[in-house]
């Protein structure tokens, strides 16, 4: 697996990461042993950039990652996130945002303990708290860097003004947001990131699994899967969106690769400052995804895919209305 550099502060990660969220959270029931085996197989393949968060579970995902890398801490780059306030006993219940310096410090200590480490490679604010100036939140994150508890910092789903103000307070190494063939609004953010020398981490680069071509109905999703409530996966939207996934499948078949591999290669081809973090629970899907890191697309290939799956043709917002309001602040 090749390596890429995120930002101008020296953070080097594998060219493709692994989103660990679905191993314990949001996408139906998880199996701990399968999750552990998948993470350990990722390390064998050179996929060393692992993404988790306090809210995933809550807590259980960080614990899983910590167990998976025990004794191998120096082989991995761990990214985790803070920023939500929630009831750990009701993970799908009401939640708010908390970007106060006190919560930054509290959350970091908890993450360090659950991950079984004394430092976090990349620490993100998961969502921007509009009630706390970003300078205060990032100032507290900067103190964690100075204390050696965090190596690099970033933001997730932040707006341009917030990114600039945060970066002026302490250099950001990465911004993480959703980006794929069917979610391309971050292309309005990328020029600013490049101007400032900030890397970009693309979550859900497979359209939450949709671009694999395997989801044809909400009944294909397990009970308890968060996607059952997602606007893009509702039946009317799904019928229209399937046509887009089928175009990706046809193009992948022409090239002798899977739809997932083609979609991942497209994201990777958008720039060496971009690192996709596809998530999976299963080793076979991990191996399929990792192979895409070696797939080279020509400029014509990239353009053909962009034209075949116009983002404007996708039906449905990428989150429910209440969650969309948390983006781009």
Please check whether residue 287 is in contact with residue 45, taking contact to mean a CB–CB distance below 8 angstroms.
yes
Q: How far is CA 234 from CA 115, 221, 247, 280, in A?
A: 36, 11, 20, 22
> Catalytic one among 56, 59, 124, 179?
56
Please check whether residue 80 is in contact with residue 46, taking contact to mean a CB–CB distance below 8 angstroms.
no
Please check whether residue 104 is in contact with residue 85, taking contact to mean a CB–CB distance below 8 angstroms.
no
Please check whether residue 97 is in contact with residue 127, taking contact to mean a CB–CB distance below 8 angstroms.
yes
DSSP letters, 169-203, are: HS---EEEEE-BTTB-GGGGTHHHHHHHT-EEEEE
Helices and strands: H and E segment counts in the chain:
11, 12
56 classed as catalytic: yes
Burial 38-60 (b: 16+ CB within 10 A, else e): bbebbbebbbbbbbbbbbbbbbb
Distance CA 194, CA 20 (A): 27
Task: Name the packing angle between helices 134-146 and 101-115 (round to 10°).
Answer: 40
Q: How far is CA 79 from CA 23, 61, 157, 308, in A?
A: 16, 12, 15, 33
Catalytic (active-site) positions: 56
């Amino acid at each position: 697996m090749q390596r890429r550099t995120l930002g101008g502060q020296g953070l080097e990660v594998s060219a493709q990461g692994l989103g660990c969220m679905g191993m314990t959270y949001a996408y139906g029931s998880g199996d701990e042993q399968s999750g552990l085996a998948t993470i350990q197989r990722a390390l064998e393949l050179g996929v060393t950039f692992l993404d988790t968060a306090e809210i995933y579970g809550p807590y259980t995902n960080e614990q899983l990652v910590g167990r998976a890398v025990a004794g191998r801490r120096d082989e991995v780059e761990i990214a985790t996130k803070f920023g939500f306030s929630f009831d750990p006993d009701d993970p799908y219940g009401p939640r708010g945002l908390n970007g106060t310096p006190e919560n930054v410090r509290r959350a970091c200590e908890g993450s360090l303990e659950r991950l079984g480490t004394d430092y976090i490679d990349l620490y993100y604010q998961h969502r921007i708290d509009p009630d706390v100036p970003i300078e205060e939140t990032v100032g507290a994150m900067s103190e964690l860097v100075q204390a050696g508890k965090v190596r690099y910092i970033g933001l997730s789903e932040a707006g341009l003004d917030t990114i600039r103000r945060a970066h002026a307070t302490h250099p950001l190494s990465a911004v993480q947001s959703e980006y794929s063939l069917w979610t391309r609004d971050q292309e309005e953010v990328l020029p600013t990131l490049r101007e400032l020398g900030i890397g970009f981490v693309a979550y859900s680069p497979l359209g939450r699994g949709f671009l694999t071509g395997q989801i044809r109905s909400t009944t294909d999703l397990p009970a308890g899967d968060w996607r059952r409530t997602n606007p893009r996966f509702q039946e009317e939207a799904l019928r229209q969106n399937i046509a887009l996934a089928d175009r990706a499948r046809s193009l992948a078949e022409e090239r002798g690769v899977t739809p997932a591999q083609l979609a991942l290669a497209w994201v990777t081809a958008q720039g060496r400052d971009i690192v996709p973090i596809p998530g999976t629970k299963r080793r076979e899907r991990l191996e399929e995804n990792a192979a895409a890191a070696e797939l080279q697309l020509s400029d014509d290939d990239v353009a053909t895919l962009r034209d075949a799956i116009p983002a404007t043709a996708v039906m449905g917002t990428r989150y429910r209305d209440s969650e969309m309001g948390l983006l781009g602040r």
